[in-house]
């Protein structure tokens, strides 16, 4: 008959293969086996089939001669009436040596008492689950063979001496070797479990502990017996503040199945309350039971470190907030002081310019060329100082601007800037090319216009003498959600060595003698673009003009402004 190949055996029950089964529920100690038990399983299935034949009395010697399990018919007197080919091979004897011979001559002397008791049970019909079984050693040709005798008792003949009962003889040699090997494997597996730095456990739903490793006493201070003996031992020792959450999350884990991790506090026997991280694997058995296998690790040092880290973070955050408030107060005081100085400076600066103009006007033609030159220089310096103060105040106000960002049409903003600079463009006889665009950006309309005005003003100003300014403004999409506004000119250009400095306050690439200005215009552009969550940059080379660009977030809403 065909047999199914089995690569893993969970446990072998007594009475099936000649070895004791493991304790109920200790599936963690089950081992995956190789092909060594195949023969045992094959013989076991043959024995089962033979038992069914014996039960129905439907077996004949012709069939038994072909059967792989040894089979004999024994008289009540202990003489062998019949034996099949498998029995002759097991005994290592010919048919004439076995037929009519007493069975005890093929049994070890130490086991003959067992044989007598077995034959008496067969004669009396003392059966368990319909069968009578015993184990003893059979004399083979060259050695002793451990065997199991299986019978269902007397066949019912009237003549007591001639009563015959069938006996199957199962060779247990392979099973005993396999049992020893499995015992070694089980011990190795147990040593592996005990070496893990944590508590290995197994349970059935809801939390019936079936197995707990010996490490539990080292980690938590309680012997394994208490976990197995007291059904609610585990749950009752969970910290009361974590117990409800533990039960709730455990039920969720049982419902979902698979791998689940729980962290909770536990009352240990020696170290007070400890933190455990319990990694559980929830599976369903073929019988419909929920099996939970877990590994609980003491993470108290880690939790203590986390608590200390959170405390340190709170302390640092508090200190940072205190420093921030102090810095804001300092900056506000400095800005207030600077604004006050700026406003106070405007009056004497304008007085200087006024008196210089009046003096020059009163002297008229009487003024010497040198005196007139000096008065004109004083008036120009005062005008420059007044403009510088205005620019500084405007730059300072950017730090305190409350922004309402709206979707802004770029075309409309460029139109307003060109209109504001109309006189300057006309005076410079400049050519301005504008590429129409439907794009709109998320920005503050007035601040965006101010930034573009500063860039366009620079493009008109920084041009070599005698050269007609040409400016091109275009708009493109970059990186999908960003819009780039570029202002390209044909001016003097900027040396790459200075390009990283020009967006700072009072930073200039050219002297004020060459081109007028306060050195604040590009700093204001940079500050405005930062406020609008954008970026600004320049691509330039000396004598080849410059391209200043601003990247801003594209607008996503339909309502438009500007």
Looking at the domain assignment, is residue 188 inside a domain? no
Residues 6+ apart with CB under 8 A from 376: 356, 360
Q: Which residue has the higher pLDDT, 391 or 202?
A: 202
Question: Do 29 and 122 fall into the same domain?
Answer: yes
pLDDT tens string 293-316: 888 988 888 888 888 999 999 999
| Angstrom distance (rounded) from CA 475 to CA 502 | 23
Confidence of residue 6 (pLDDT cuts 50, 70, 90): very low
| Angstrom distance (rounded) from CA 252 to CA 509 | 68
Q: Which residue has the higher pLDDT, 352 or 244?
A: 244
CATH number of the CATH domain containing 31: 3.30.450.20
**Domain range enclosing 419:** 406-553
Average pLDDT over residues 113-139: 82
CATH number of the CATH domain containing 437: 3.30.565.10
Looking at the domain assignment, is residue 191 inside a domain? no
Mean pLDDT, rounded, of the chain: 75
| Angstrom distance (rounded) from CA 478 to CA 121 | 97
> 125-145 burial string, b = 16+ CB within 10 Å, else e?
eeeeeeebbbebbbbbeeeeb
When divided into structural domains, the chain yields a total of 4
H helical segments located in 364-421? 369-398, 410-420
Confidence of residue 1 (pLDDT cuts 50, 70, 90): very low
**What share of the chain in percent tops pLDDT 70?**
71
Question: Do 171 and 27 fall into the same domain?
Answer: yes
Q: Flag whether pLDDT at 265 surpasses 90.
A: yes
Looking at the domain assignment, is residue 14 inside a domain? yes
Residues 6+ apart with CB under 8 A from 428: 460, 463, 468, 469
Looking at the domain assignment, is residue 231 inside a domain? yes
Question: Do 74 and 160 fall into the same domain?
Answer: yes
Question: Do 25 and 149 fall into the same domain?
Answer: yes
Confidence of residue 266 (pLDDT cuts 50, 70, 90): very high
Please state the pTM of the whole predicted model: 0.38
> 440-469 burial string, b = 16+ CB within 10 Å, else e?
bbbbbbebbbbbbbbbbbbbbbbbeeeeeb
CATH number of the CATH domain containing 335: 1.10.287
Among 377, 398, 419, residue at a domain's last position: 398
Looking at the domain assignment, is residue 560 inside a domain? no
Q: Flag whether pLDDT at 473 surpasses 50.
A: yes
Looking at the domain assignment, is residue 190 inside a domain? no
Instruction: Answer for the pair 155, 164: CB distance below 8 angstroms, yes or no.
Output: yes
At 240 the pLDDT is 92
| Angstrom distance (rounded) from CA 17 to CA 176 | 9
pLDDT tens string 75-114: 888 898 888 888 888 888 888 888 989 998 899 888 899 9
Question: Do 349 and 371 fall into the same domain?
Answer: yes
Question: Do 91 and 119 fall into the same domain?
Answer: yes
Query: Side-chain half-sphere of 1: how many Cα atoms within 13 Å?
Result: 15
| Angstrom distance (rounded) from CA 228 to CA 210 | 7
What is the number of other CB atoms lying within 10 angstroms of the CB of residue 381? 14
Question: Do 312 and 279 fall into the same domain?
Answer: no
Question: Do 332 and 420 fall into the same domain?
Answer: no
Write the DSSP symbol of residue 544.
S
Confidence of residue 209 (pLDDT cuts 50, 70, 90): confident
Average pLDDT over residues 135-151: 86
Q: Which of 43-57, 153-167, 234-248, 321-335 bottoms out in mean pLDDT, i.e. has the lowest?
A: 43-57
pLDDT tens string 55-78: 544 445 556 677 778 888 888 888
424 φ/ψ angles, rounded to the nearest 5 degrees: -65, -40
Confidence of residue 241 (pLDDT cuts 50, 70, 90): very high
Looking at the domain assignment, is residue 314 inside a domain? yes
Among 180, 208, 224, residue at a domain's last position: 180
Instruction: Answer for the pair 212, 228: CB distance below 8 angstroms, yes or no.
Output: yes
CA distances from 184 to 84, 97, 131, 509 (A): 36, 40, 32, 86
Residue indicated by tokens 């006889």: 429
Question: Do 12 and 125 fall into the same domain?
Answer: yes
Confidence of residue 36 (pLDDT cuts 50, 70, 90): very low
| Angstrom distance (rounded) from CA 216 to CA 233 | 13
- Tokens read off for 315: 């302390």
**What share of the chain in percent tops pLDDT 90?**
5
Question: Do 360 and 478 fall into the same domain?
Answer: no
Looking at the domain assignment, is residue 334 inside a domain? yes
Average pLDDT over residues 158-177: 73
Question: Do 32 and 66 fall into the same domain?
Answer: yes
Question: Do 392 and 330 fall into the same domain?
Answer: yes
At 405 the pLDDT is 78
Q: Which of 42-46, 245-249, 371-375 bottoms out in mean pLDDT, i.e. has the lowest?
A: 42-46
- Tokens read off for 306: 């986390």
Q: Which residue has the higher pLDDT, 437 or 6?
A: 437
Average pLDDT over residues 368-394: 71
Q: Which of 127-131, 132-136, 520-524 bottoms out in mean pLDDT, i.e. has the lowest?
A: 127-131
Q: Which residue has the higher pLDDT, 339 or 512?
A: 339
At 507 the pLDDT is 53
Among 367, 398, 429, residue at a domain's last position: 398
């Amino acid at each position: 008959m065909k047999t199914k190949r089995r690569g893993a055996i969970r446990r072998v029950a007594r009475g099936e293969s000649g070895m004791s089964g493991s304790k109920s529920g200790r599936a963690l100690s089950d081992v995956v086996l190789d092909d060594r038990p195949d023969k045992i399983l094959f013989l076991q299935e043959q024995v089962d089939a033979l038992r069914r034949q014996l039960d129905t009395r439907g077996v004949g010697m012709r069939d038994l001669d072909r059967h792989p399990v040894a089979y004999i018919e024994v008289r009540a007197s202990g003489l062998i009436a019949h034996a099949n080919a498998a029995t002759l091979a097991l005994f290592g004897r010919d048919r004439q040596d076995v037929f009519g011979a007493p069975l005890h001559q093929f049994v070890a002397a130490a086991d003959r008492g067992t044989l007598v008791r077995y034959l008496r049970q067969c004669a009396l019909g003392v059966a368990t689950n319909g069968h009578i079984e015993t184990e003893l050693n059979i004399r083979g040709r060259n050695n002793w063979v451990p065997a199991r005798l299986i019978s269902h008792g007397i066949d019912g003949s009237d003549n007591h001496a001639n009563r015959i009962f069938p006996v199957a003889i199962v060779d247990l040699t392979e099973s005993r070797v396999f049992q020893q090997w499995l015992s070694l494997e089980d011990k190795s597996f147990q040593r592996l479990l005990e070496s893990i730095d944590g508590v290995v456990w197994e349970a059935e739903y809801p939390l019936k502990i079936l197995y707990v490793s010996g490490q539990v006493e080292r980690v938590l201070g309680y012997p394994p017996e208490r976990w197995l003996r007291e059904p609610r031992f585990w749950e009752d020792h969970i910290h009361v503040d974590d117990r409800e959450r533990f039960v709730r999350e455990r039920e969720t884990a049982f419902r979902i199945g698979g791998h689940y991790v729980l962290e909770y506090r536990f009352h240990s026997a020696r170290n007070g309350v400890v933190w455990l991280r319990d990694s559980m694997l929830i599976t369903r058995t073929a019988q419909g039971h929920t099996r939970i296998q877990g590994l609980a690790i003491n993470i108290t040092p880690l939790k203590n470190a986390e608590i200390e880290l959170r405390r340190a973070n709170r302390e640092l955050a508090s200190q940072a907030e205190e420093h921030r408030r102090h810095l804001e107060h300092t900056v506000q005081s400095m800005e207030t002081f600077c604004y006050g100085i700026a406003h106070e400076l405007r009056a004497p600066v304008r007085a200087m310019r006024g008196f210089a103009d009046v003096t020059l006007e009163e002297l008229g033609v009487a003024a010497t060329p040198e005196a007139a030159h000096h008065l004109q220089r004083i008036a120009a310096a005062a005008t420059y100082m007044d403009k510088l103060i205005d620019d500084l105040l405007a730059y300072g106000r950017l730090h305190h601007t409350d922004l309402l960002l709206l979707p802004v049409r770029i075309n409309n903003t460029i139109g307003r800037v060109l209109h504001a600079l109309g006189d300057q463009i006309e005076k410079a006889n400049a050519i301005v090319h504008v590429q129409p665009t439907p794009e709109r950006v998320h920005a503050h309309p007035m601040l965006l216009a101010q930034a573009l005005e500063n860039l366009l003003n620079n493009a008109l100003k920084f041009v070599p003498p005698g050269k007609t300014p040409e400016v091109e403004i275009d708009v493109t999409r970059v990186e999908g959600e960003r819009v780039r506004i570029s202002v390209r000119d044909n001016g003097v250009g900027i040396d790459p060595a200075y390009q990283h400095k020009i967006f700072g306050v009072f930073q200039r690439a050219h002297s004020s003698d060459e081109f007028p200005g306060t050195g604040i215009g590009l700093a204001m552009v940079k500050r405005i673009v930062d406020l609008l969550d954008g970026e600004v940059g320049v691509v330039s080379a000396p004598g080849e003009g410059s391209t200043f660009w601003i990247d801003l977030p594209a607008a996503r809403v339909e309502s438009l402004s500007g």
